Amino acid sequence: MINSQISLPAILLAVMRGQPKAQQDAHYPGWHLAPVTGLMNDPNGFIHFNGRYHLFYQWNPLSCQHQHKCWGHWSSEDLLHWQHEPLALMPDSDYDRNGCYSGSAIDDHGRLTLCYTGNVKFDEGTRTAFQCLAVQNAEGRFEKQGPVIALPEGYTGHVRDPKLWRCGQHWYMVLGAQDLGRRGKVLLFRSADLREWENMGEIAGSDTGGLGAAGYMWECPDLFTLGHHTYLLCCPQGLPQEPQRFLNTYSSAYLSGKFDEQTLTFQHGPLHELDAGFEFYAPQTTLTADGRRLLVGWMGVPDGEEMSQPTIGYGWLHQMTCLRELSSRNGKLYQQPIVELQALRGDMQTYEGSANAAPWLSAQRLELRVESSGGITLNFADTLILEWQQDQLRLARRSLHTGEWLVRYWTGAVRGLHILCDHSSVEIFINDGEGVMSSRYFPTQPALLTFSGDNPLRARYWSLRACPVE
């Protein structure tokens, strides 16, 4: 049975009707990547290939529901100006009929090759998954090659999100998985030719490698070495909530440690939260031409309050985070906005004095750097409130369901904040990237940022120009 609901004419019609409507929404981002219409979730296939950056994305062009997942495609020469590319994959084969799920891209001897999960659901509620390849042809189209890995033994149908890389003579792949005891795991596979794959076992997971119970499914793994450490990014579902950490419906986390290339084992410490804001999930990294490790995440979380976001009224849902450069300090991951984004800045303005007397700023498209010893509050249009205390940040906004105030925390002494605003999103970088809080918010536009508190602050700020995808 193939998927008969998705077709190019249906997608074209959805885009023709949907795009003008989405553009009317004052919450539509000015310089972040977002779907022209419909629902976007994970970044996929982020790669520098043949002199251009490519970023693919989980996309349902037909509605704001998690259905019909295709791979949309953008490309850019400079990581700032992006252009639309033809739809890369749609779920029209037997082995991917319920979605061309997340995956990654590699350069296979000069051919841009995608590896993704073909998701297949059965009527009785079960599912299976195939890891599949698609190779770009001379016309630029992606030709599906079909599955190369069927469901490995010992796991449920939840096995997905292949992230591939090359090391020596081999290709390696990490895969998110759920074992038969309903524990989330990351599997490692190895191949000489991308077609035949060998299961090298579990490298991390719940009840594994010194971790206790850490969730029933781990999605979107990504493994890379940066500085003296190897990092494993993962998205554990079902992680126990702590009073001030892992508070979102699903969390995005990382492990830091050493990967032994001989034994293919990963020794690591505890789980760290990758982003402490309300919306962040399914990040993916790649290397730039000049060797930087960049990360982009989905500024959304599945199954929480996403279906109450007001942009659905304009037919679109979700956006990406800004692109971030990663660095490694003492086994901790730091994230900072890529320097390329500085090209969006208008003239710099400054303020020094008490928070109470600080000017009101337009938060629509804003970059702000603030230094203070705390005791101040940043109020984004009365919709998102950041309390900068001596030893922690408290970020509060109202539930879209109940109206009650919800809070996210970042714990530690805060010296400085670097904040990026874009219509309906705020990304807060703490202490030059030691922490990040990414969140959507839906203020009445044009949104104002105001400051309060007796304590002093020093601020530099820029309005940012829009940079829409062409």
Site residues (vs ligand FRU, CB under 6 A)? 41-42, 58, 69, 99, 101-102, 117, 160-161, 219-220, 281-282, 302
Cβ neighbour number for residue 246 with a 10 Å cutoff: 19
Residue closer to ligand FRU (CB basis): 42 or 222? 42
The CB-of-302 to ligand FRU minimum distance in angstroms stands at: 5
Residues with Cβ within 8 Å of 227's Cβ and at least 6 positions away in sequence, in order, are 327, 328, 329
The CB-of-114 to ligand FRU minimum distance in angstroms stands at: 13
Selecting among 25, 42, 96, 222, the annotated active-site residue is 42
Residue closer to ligand FRU (CB basis): 277 or 453? 277
Preceding amide of 221 cis, omega within 30? no
The CB-of-220 to ligand FRU minimum distance in angstroms stands at: 6
Residue (of 412, 406, 458) closest to 435 by Cα position: 412
Task: In whole angstroms, give the CA distance from residue 269 to residue 235.
Answer: 16
The CB-of-336 to ligand FRU minimum distance in angstroms stands at: 24
> Residue 366's beta-bridge partner residues?
421, 463
Residues with Cβ within 8 Å of 263's Cβ and at least 6 positions away in sequence, in order, are none
Is 347 a known active-site residue?
no
Alpha-carbon separation of residue 318 from 20, 42, 116, 435 (angstroms) = 17, 10, 21, 22
Residue closer to ligand FRU (CB basis): 76 or 102? 102
User: Which stretches does DSSP call E strand in 152-196?
Assistant: 155-167, 170-179, 184-191
Residue closer to ligand FRU (CB basis): 317 or 361? 317
The CB-of-388 to ligand FRU minimum distance in angstroms stands at: 31
Cα dihedral sign, 355-360-364-369: negative
Residue closer to ligand FRU (CB basis): 279 or 427? 279
Cβ neighbour number for residue 133 with a 10 Å cutoff: 23
Active-site residue set: 42
